[in-house]
Structures are given as C-alpha cells and as structure tokens.
Amino acid sequence: MFSPAYTISNKILKYIGIIEAAKEVIENAPLVPAWEAKFREEAIVRTVHHGTHIEGNELNFTEAEKVLAGAKVVGRDRDIQEVLNYRNVLKFIEGYNNDTITDETVRHVHSLTADKMMP
C-alpha cells in the first residue's frame, strides 16, 4: 500500500484552518430558493454535457442546454437522445432512496441510458 511521505507543517495547518472556516461559511449561508434552483439546473446542464461529451457526443454546451430546455437543435438524433437519457438517469438517481443497489436497479439505469438509442 502506498504511504506518501509528508510532514504537516504550520503553513499547511494554517491553510486547513482557512479552508475549514470557508466551508463553514458556505454551509451555513442562507441560499435564496430561486438561486438554489438556478444553481441546480446549471449543475445538471454541466453534468449532462460533460458526461456525454466525454463519450463522444458532438453537441456543444449551448446545444445541450437547449435540448434540456426542450428547444430544437440541429444535431445527430443519437446525440440529442443521449443528452435526454443522461438527464433522466440523473433524475432517477436523485429520487432513488434505497440504500441497496440491486441488479434490478442497475438494469433500470441501463434501460434509461439506452432508451431510444437503438434503431
């Protein structure tokens, strides 16, 4: 097992303290519901775009954003469907409240991922 050699110096401890203080401020700051919804939606768009792009999806960020908003875009049907499917998987995962992941859960996620992808 890899065991990195390092020393926790006063400088490192100082920065850890600064990070912990910033974390507390962020965690305890009130967030306006409208902003929270906007941040959540932006995070979904980024996650969907980058998650599909790394797999070869040719839609750019703006096109993926438009697809998720229900607008028409010019692109491969496969790419458009992949973006929609990825969003559906994220929605399923967000609503999944079971501590156990079963074979059926994996099959369902796969079916959401592959929905309307095969002719």
| Mean pLDDT rounded to a whole number for the chain | 94
Domain count, the chain: 1
Residue 62 lies in a domain: yes
Q: Specify the DSSP class assigned to residue 75.
A: S
Residue 18 lies in a domain: no
What pLDDT shows up at residue 34? 83
Q: Are 88 and 108 in contact (CB under 8 A)?
A: no
Q: Model-level pTM? A: 0.72
Residue 70 has pLDDT above 90, yes or no: yes
Residue 29 has pLDDT above 80, yes or no: yes
Domain of 75? Answer: 32-114
The neighbour count for residue 82, using CB atoms within 10 Å, is: 27
Residue 50 lies in a domain: yes
Q: Are 45 and 64 in contact (CB under 8 A)?
A: yes
The band of 54, judged by pLDDT with boundaries at 50, 70 and 90, is very high
- Mark out the alpha helices in the chain (DSSP H runs): 10-28, 33-53, 61-68, 77-95, 103-114
Amino acid symbol at 43? A
Q: What's the average model confidence in pLDDT over 85-111?
A: 96
Residue 35 has pLDDT above 90, yes or no: no
Residue 4 lies in a domain: no
The band of 63, judged by pLDDT with boundaries at 50, 70 and 90, is very high
What pLDDT shows up at residue 78? 97
Q: Are 109 and 89 in contact (CB under 8 A)?
A: yes
Residue 70 lies in a domain: yes
What pLDDT shows up at residue 109? 97
Residue 5 lies in a domain: no
Residue 74 lies in a domain: yes
Q: What's the average model confidence in pLDDT over 59-83?
A: 98
Residue 46 lies in a domain: yes
User: What is the rounded CA–CA span in Å between residue 2 and residue 52?
Assistant: 33
